[in-house]
Amino acid sequence: MSAPTSDKVFAGSIPKLYDTYLVPLIFEPYAADLAKRLARLRPARVLEIAAGTGVVTRQLASALPASSSIVATDLNQAMLDQAAAAGMARPIEWRLADAMQLPFADGTFDAVVCQFGAMFFPDKPKAFAEARRVLRPGGFYLFNVWDRISANEFADVITQALAELFPTDPPHFLARTPHGYHDADRIRVELNEAGFSDVSIEPVEHRSKAASPRDPAIGYCQGTPLRNEIEARDASRLQEATEHAAEALARRFGRGEVDGCIRALVITAAR
C-alpha cells in the first residue's frame, strides 16, 4: 500500500490529542527504553529525528549527562511547538528538519535516535543514509518501529471497527504506515544498503493501559493522521467513528480500565 501525503500531516488539534492520549498510552514505555539504551552509550552530542511532541526528548533530557547536547527535530512544526510548550529539564535545540535531507554537517553527532518515525520515511534507505552521514565514525543509530498490527491490540481492534463503518473504503492508515514496516529482514537489508553494520533488532513488548475504552479511541481516531482518513471519507462522521471504535474496544477489553498488548522492534546500528 502506498502512503498518501496525509499520512505525515500532524496538524490542527492532532498534536494536542496525540500528546494527551497516545503518549501515555503507547509511547512512554518505549521512550524510556530508548533513553536507557542511549544513556549506556554516553554520547556527547545527540540528534533526535521525528521527535514529535517530545516524549523521547524528555526522557533523554533526564537520562543523559548534563554535558550531552540534544538537538530534537521533526517535520511538523506543530508537533515541535507542542513539545517545546511542555518544557524540558534542560535546554534543547529544536529544529524543523526532514529526515530525508538533514541540515547538519557530516559526522556531527555521536548518536542519532528516532522513535516510531522510520515507518513514515518515503525512502527508508535514503533516510538511513542521511542518519549515517551525520554520525561520526563509531557512532550509533538507535530507533524503533511498531511490529505488525495484529501484535498491537488496540490499533488492530480500531482498524477492524472502522472497516465496519466504512466497508467500501476502509481507513488503513494504522496498518499501512505505523504498523507497515516490521519485516526485520527488510530493515536489516536497508540499513546495510545505507552503510550501517552490526545491526541488532530486538522485539520488545509492553502493556498499553487506559482508564476507559474511550481514551484509546480518541487517541487513535482524532490524535493521529487516521483522523485525516476518516474526515476525507465524511468529516461529519468523526465523532461517530470515534464512538464506534470505543464500543469495539469495550466489547473486547471491557468498559472500565482497558489493558492491551503493544509490541515493537528496537534497532541499533553502528556507523
Nearest Cα to Cα of residue 157 among 79, 260, 43: 260
- Grid cell locating 76: 511538523
Distances (CA, A) of 247 to 91, 158, 218, 235: 43, 10, 12, 20
Asked whether 54 and 94 are in contact (CB, 8 A), the reply is: no
From 119, 125, 74, select the one nearest 99 (Cα to Cα): 74
Q: What percent of the chain has pLDDT over 90?
A: 92
Rounded Cα gap, residues 52 and 54, in angstroms: 5
Determine the average pLDDT of the residues in 111-137. Answer: 97
Question: Using alpha carbons only, what angle is made at residue 76 by residues 74 and 80, rounded to the nearest 5 degrees?
Answer: 65
- What pLDDT shows up at residue 10? 65
pLDDT digits (tens, 9 = 90+) for 164-184: 999 999 999 999 999 999 999
pLDDT tens by residue, 1-48: 456 665 555 657 788 999 999 999 999 999 999 999 999 999 999 999
The single-letter DSSP state of residue 168 is T
How far CA 209 is from CA of 19, 156, 232, 262, in Å, comes to 15, 15, 30, 10
- With 80 as the cut, is the pLDDT of residue 239 above it? yes
Q: Rounded to whole angstroms, how far apart are CA atoms 120 and 77?
A: 16
Cβ contacts of residue 1 below 8 Å, gap of 6+? 172, 175, 176, 180
CA 156, CA 172: separation in Å to the nearest integer? 10
- Indicate which CATH number applies to the domain containing 60: 3.40.50.150
Q: Does residue 91 surpass a pLDDT of 70?
A: yes
Cα-Cα-Cα-Cα dihedral sign, residues 35, 37, 39, 44 = negative
pLDDT given for residue 120 in this prediction? 95
The average pLDDT across 93-103 equals: 97
d(CA 150, CA 103): 37
- Predicted local distance difference test score (pLDDT) of residue 1: 45
Express as a percent the part of the chain with pLDDT over 70: 96
| Whether the Cβ atoms of residue 259 and residue 253 lie closer than 8 Å to each other | yes
pLDDT digits (tens, 9 = 90+) for 139-152: 999 999 999 999 99
Provide the number of structural domains found in the chain. 1
pLDDT at residue 12, as a whole number = 73
CB 112 within 8 A of CB 144: no
Query: Residue 136, SS3?
Result: strand
Residue 148 buriedness (CB in 10 A; 0-12 / 13-18 / 19+):
middle
What's the chain's average pLDDT? 95
pLDDT value, residue 11: 54
3: left (phi over 0), alpha (psi -120 to 50) or beta: beta
Contact by Cβ (8 Å): 83, 94: yes
Q: What is the pLDDT of residue 61?
A: 96
Write down the pLDDT at residue 173.
96
Cα dihedral: 226, 19, 178, 181 (round 10): 170
Domain of residue 35 covers: 5-270
- So what's the pLDDT on residue 28? 97
Put the strands of the sheet holding 135-146 in their side by side order: 93-96, 69-74, 45-49, 109-115, 135-146, 258-270, 197-210
